Structure 1
Amino acid sequence: MNHESLARGVPGTAPGAVVALAVTGQISVDPVEGRTIRFGRNRPEVDICVGETDLRVSRQHGVLTRRSGHWWVSNTGQLPIRLPKTRLLFRDEEPVPLPDGYSPLFVRGSHDREHLLEVYVAGEDGGRPAMRHSAVTQPPKRWRLTEDERLLLVALGRRYLLHESNPQPVARQQVAEMMAELQPDSTWGIKRVEHMIADVRARLSAAGVHGLLREEVGEPVGNALNDNLLKELVLSTTLVPPDLALLDELY
């Protein structure tokens, strides 16, 4: 059995077709309206088996469906499916369309295990993407921040830039106190901190970053919105560890 990753593409596939790969096997389905691929633990009753020895994985945990010119993933299991960009898809939520190309789907199991289902949707040209070994590397999309926004977000995300395990945003009151100490000639309070953070979240959300709005994360919200914001800023290298030098006066 061939377990080569689909991340390298799929050769000779019809445009719009989908290929799904798990450790148990592989399936390819043409882009016919209404076609489905069922995946889950119960090998005899699904099209591709995922997590067959893990009782935390539902017997039918999810479905890929061809509809309106796209492949959609829906969750029919008890535990969430983790999509790219750390998005979680829960049972009975609206299906999510899969983009052309490679999408890894992770099914949460027992004891922090995750079971991988690789999915590849062929684009208009069908198969494997062209190799571009010597092409110029595309830089990450870095977000524009004002000087005050950068300083505030470095203070808010200090633990992320220090590579702490499971970091959380610094409390807003503490951020306000840090900003007041760094900029004694300015008026800093918790409301100003909250408004500036909310403005950055709104700006990035409007540009397509998911997980920065209350309705996108569900209740209870907790620190999720600012956690997602800081992860995006760090992963895009908008904020980098050397930015911690902006806080040197405090430490």
Structure 2
Amino acid sequence: MYFLEPLTPSLLRHEPLVAGGPAPVGTLFVLGQDGGYAATPHPARTLVLGRNSPDVHVTVGSEDWYVSREHATLRCARDGRWTLRNGGKLPIRIPETPALLHQHEAPVPCGYTPLYIQGSRLHVVELLVSAGPRGAGEVRPGTGTRDLAWPLSDRERLVLVALFQLHLLRADDAHPLSWNETARCLNEVPGQRGWNDRKAEHAVDGVRKRLAAAGVGGVTADSAPADAIKRNLLRVLVDTATLAPPDLRLLDEGVDSPRRNEQSGVVR
């Protein structure tokens, strides 16, 4: 198995290399806030997730008493497929499937899957099962990773995460929040205060204008109906992995957490 550093980019945005090259088919990547592991498929191989940092592979909720010491186990079957088992008291939410309850199991699909555990705050764990390297003529091990994400300031990212949080959670009734709801959410974020609907909308307007200037359509009033602008903006940000489920941590931790400050500055 291979350790993933705490500052490893979101698995939605980037598939890490394994031993200096593309990952073999079926390789499982698991990434939490404090790093994670990559494990090539091997029968009976297991990775454990939970609160008890010394005895688990991936730490989840180290200071959250509602998260179990060993909350979940990922196990590889003989056919190379991975299974997730919930050994904790809290359910594990997996998008587009019923919540995984205590002692229940579910297969881990190929591709990207975020896991959500709601304790005293929201915990996000990323899973990625690799489909294997692309054709040799397309990408070589030494080829730089392409990033489609649009640049955002910390302030903009925080507002967009608040605005589209239900979509990032993949809630059944997902919809963008209103500007008033967004402002109320922002004022509850650690270190944030003084937000109102106009400030929230103004921050997003700056993103929409930059996208429009770069040739992105449907994100301004002159290119789409008013009720479609937020939906079009969301599609652009999600399709380019500009926003990803781990960004939801900003709403619980703010931007002054040590890990966040290593990656960017504070919201101003």
> TM-score, structure 2 length as denominator?
0.45
> TM-score, structure 1 length as denominator?
0.48
Higher Rg: 1
